[in-house]
Amino acid sequence: MSSALIQTKSYPTWNSRWVFIMAATGSAVGLGNIWKFPYITGENGGGAFVLVYLVCILLLGIPVMVAEVMLGRRGRQSPVATMRQLTNEAGLHGFWNSIGWLGVVAGLFILSYYSVIAGWALAYIPEMGRGTFQGAGAAETQLFFDTLLADKGRLLAWQSLFMLMTVAVVACGVVKGLGVAVRILMPLLFVLLLAMLVFAYRHGDFAAAAEFLFRPDFSALTGRSVLEALGHSFFTLSLGMGAIMAYGAYMPADTSIGKTVLTVAFLDTLVALMAGMAIFPIVFANPSIHPGAGPELLFVSLPVAFGAMPGGLLVGMMFFILITIAAWSSAISLIEPGVAWLIERRGFNRFTANISLGFIAWALGLGTVLSFNDWSGFTLGGFTFFGAMDFLTSRIMLPLTGLFIAIFVGWVLPQMTAKSELNGEGSRFYPLWLWVLRYICPPAIGVVLLVGLYDTFAAVS
């Protein structure tokens, strides 16, 4: 639809709040919701972890997301240029520009390993369809997974395919590429997830899953689980790397930021919980599968279940298509801030900007590919290349940028700036938001960051 674009001065905006909501939800909903959330919930004992996670979304995720969208819409440029403009306007120190930079770098780092894991999901689609897992036991699916990870050529092929898919959409631009893609992908994802839920309800142990996810057992909760929940609330909402800020730049001026952010956070949380309720009933119905299996939960455990159930292979195929779609719309947002910046400031066209950054992330991803085979013995402080990338981004870089954003918007930026963007939100919204952003977010995020840094030093030394 050509009317999806309204040209305001030099910057395009999406013509409706729904395109923004779908784009932001597309970014937020990804491997974080469908792969990571279920397995870290399993590792951290279930209900109590889910509760802490929900509190983190509400108290940290939502306020920081409002701040990011507000900055993006205010600047109407790439995150790097937006930060530069806002600091210049207010006569602030250039240090704050690092918010934009850190984001571009974090995005490329995340994309580098994200595309490898999304490649696993891609690899499983034809295998499901071909019946590889028909009647397979846990030992066989484990063998399949290990064989896949040991084969760098295959990993590379699937990672490259996923990267091409990402670059192709971004190359088509914000309106035709991103706008159209999310409008097709997001509803499809919801339909597939609903189908999965129905399947899990009919063939799995739904009651056991509900009890596991929603009955908090606080004895299972450790300090580390709380930190993990906190870190994950940033990752899952795509905060702290400029993705949401970049999308905020395309948001129509008269749209309510508060309501929109609440909708996105709600949808993201809904998908994570739906994914949990689609996966755990199957896990609990199969005694050989353990909820705390870790990152393999999805790739080793579930195929056993799919292979054993009537119609399971078809549903399994659907499931891995669903994961691919979710990862795809997130990957798009990981690369967009850097692309927008290269176009604005370095005179690249969208195509070359996109190819260049895609290439960098792809090349970096080779480290992750190799960390599962040739380099698996090569670790730094217990981290493989992949582990280090994951830790560096989700436990250090995202919280660091999130912290900077909370301090910058809460304490440094002239209050009029935020106030004028948020004045349509009702009289109680602004003071409440500002208070949380000033007094709750910095100390809470600061603790996650400090423990993350401490862990890094402890591991390296």
In the complex, which residues of this chain contact ligand PHE (CB under 6 A)? 27-28, 30-33, 110, 235-236, 238, 241, 243, 330, 333-334
Cα–Cα distance for residue pair 33/18, rounded to 1 Å: 21
Least Å distance, CB 10 to ligand PHE, is: 26
Shortest distance, CB of residue 106 to ligand PHE, whole angstroms?
8
3-state DSSP assignment of residue 11: strand
Pick the closer one to ligand PHE by CB: 112 or 238: 238
Q: At its nearest, how many Å lie between ligand PHE and the CB of residue 353? A: 18
Q: Which CB sits closer to ligand PHE, 108 or 300?
A: 108
Q: How far is the CB of 250 from ligand PHE (least distance, A)?
A: 16
In angstroms, give the least distance from the CB of 452 to ligand PHE.
16
Of 15 and 112, which CB lies nearer to ligand PHE in the complex structure? 112
Q: How far is the CB of 424 from ligand PHE (least distance, A)?
A: 27
Q: Provide the residue count of the chain.
A: 461
Residue 262 to residue 259: CA distance in whole angstroms:
5
Instruction: Find out whether 404 and 99 touch, Cβ atoms under 8 Å.
Output: yes
**Nearer CB in complex with ligand PHE: 61/312:** 61
Closer Cβ to ligand PHE, 123 or 243, answer by number = 243
For ligand PHE, the closer of residues 116 and 285 by Cβ is 116
* Minimal distance, residue 334 CB to ligand PHE, in Å: 5
Q: Closest separation between CB of residue 156 and ligand PHE, Å?
A: 22
Q: What b/e readout covers 415-425, taking b as 16+ CB neighbours within 10 angstroms?
A: eebbeebbeeb
Helix ranges restricted to H, 90-205: 98-130, 138-150, 152-171, 180-203
**Closer residue to ligand PHE (CB): 233 or 255:** 233
Residue with token string 């970049």: 246
Closest to 316 in 3D by CA, of 296, 326, 302, 334: 302
The terminus-to-terminus CA distance of the chain in angstroms comes to: 56
Q: Which is nearer to ligand PHE, 33 or 41 (CB)?
A: 33
Question: Which one, of 403, 382, 404, 378, lies nearest residue 391 by Cα?
Answer: 382
Whole-angstrom Cα distance, residue 311 to residue 369? 32
Helix (H, G, I), strand (E, B) or coil at 213: helix
Q: Collapse the DSSP code of 291 into the 3-class scheme (helix H, G, I; strand E, B; otherwise coil) and give the result.
A: coil
Nearer to ligand PHE (CB atom), residue 65 or residue 277: 65
- CA 412 – CA 406 distance, rounded (Å): 9
> Are the C-beta atoms of 220 and 46 separated by less than 8 Å?
yes
Token duo for residue 206: 């739904």
Least gap, CB of 450 to ligand PHE (angstroms): 21
Least distance in Å: CB of 150 to ligand PHE? 25
Minimum CB separation from ligand PHE for residue 415, in Å?
Answer: 28
State which residue has the least CB distance to ligand PHE. Answer: 32
Query: Which CB sits closer to ligand PHE, 5 or 237?
Result: 237
Strand (E) or helix (H) holding 12: strand 11-14
**In the Cβ-directed half-sphere of 241, how many Cα atoms lie within 13 Å?**
31
* Rounded least distance, CB 66 to ligand PHE, Å: 17
Closer to ligand PHE by Cβ: residue 33 or 141: 33
Our CB check for ligand PHE shows the closer of 27 and 115 to be 27
Coil, helix or strand for 345? helix
Dihedrals phi, psi of 426, to nearest 5 degrees: 95, 150
Question: C-alpha distances in angstroms, 161 versus 156, 166, 321?
Answer: 8, 9, 14
Q: What angle do CA 179, 166, 255 make, to 5 degrees?
A: 25
CA distance 77 to 83: 9
